[in-house]
């Protein structure tokens, strides 16, 4: 795991917003390919986003399940957990691909999704995607 990802996870788990934001380049570019409208540019927006996350999920915890460095990119699988201020559980899983230069994260592609709360099996998921229930093999 890259040093910047280790430091990011530690800052998240300490709810140290200033340290976390300090790991991002001033012109950080963030995209979520499955949610194109969520793209943004800038450390200031990252700071605002995570201020809201820490306020809304006061026991937020991050875990890196696996991480691989590939040149200036780090691919990491994350689990984010906690409890919303209204008592509802918070749980996300997914992958981030962060590019870094000179110790700062310059770009990110986030594939983070909320973990389903309902038990929907593969047959129902395929039906929701395709409109057809798969046949039993």
Tracing tokens 């798969």 back to the chain, one arrives at 134
- The answer on pLDDT for 1 being more than 80 is no
- The answer on pLDDT for 65 being more than 80 is yes
pLDDT at 111: 98
CA nearest neighbour of 78 among 66, 90, 60: 66
Is residue 95 classed as helix, strand or coil in its secondary structure?
strand
pLDDT at 94: 98
Q: List pLDDT tens digits, range 17-37.
A: 999 999 999 999 999 999 999
Domains parsed from the chain with CATH numbers: 3-130 (3.10.450.50)
Question: Residue 121 burial (CB < 10 Å; 0-12/13-18/19+)?
Answer: exposed
Instruction: Average the pLDDT over 4-28 and give the result.
Output: 98
Reported as type and span, the H/E element at residue 69 is strand 61-70
Q: List pLDDT tens digits, range 76-131.
A: 999 999 999 999 999 999 999 999 999 999 999 999 999 988 888 888 888 888 89
What length is written for the chain? 137
Q: What angle do CA 90, 78, 86 make, to 5 degrees?
A: 10
pLDDT at 136: 83
CA nearest neighbour of 58 among 92, 88, 95: 88
Cα-Cα-Cα-Cα torsion 83, 8, 24, 77, nearest 10 degrees, comes to -80
Instruction: Supply 10's token pair.
Output: 């530690």
């Amino acid at each position: 795991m890259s040093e910047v990802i280790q430091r990011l996870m530690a800052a998240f788990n300490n709810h140290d917003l200033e340290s976390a934001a300090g790991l991002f380049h001033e012109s950080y570019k963030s995209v979520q390919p499955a949610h194109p409208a969520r793209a943004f540019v800038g450390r200031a927006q990252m700071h605002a986003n995570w201020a809201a996350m820490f306020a809304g999920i006061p026991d937020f915890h991050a875990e890196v399940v696996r991480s691989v460095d590939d040149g200036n990119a780090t691919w990491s699988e994350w689990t984010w957990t906690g409890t919303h201020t209204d008592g509802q559980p918070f749980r996300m899983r997914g992958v981030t691909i962060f590019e870094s230069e000179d110790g700062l994260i310059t770009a990110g592609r986030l594939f983070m999704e909320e973990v389903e709360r309902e038990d929907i099996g593969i047959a129902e998921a395929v039906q929701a995607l395709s409109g057809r229930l798969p046949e039993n093999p």
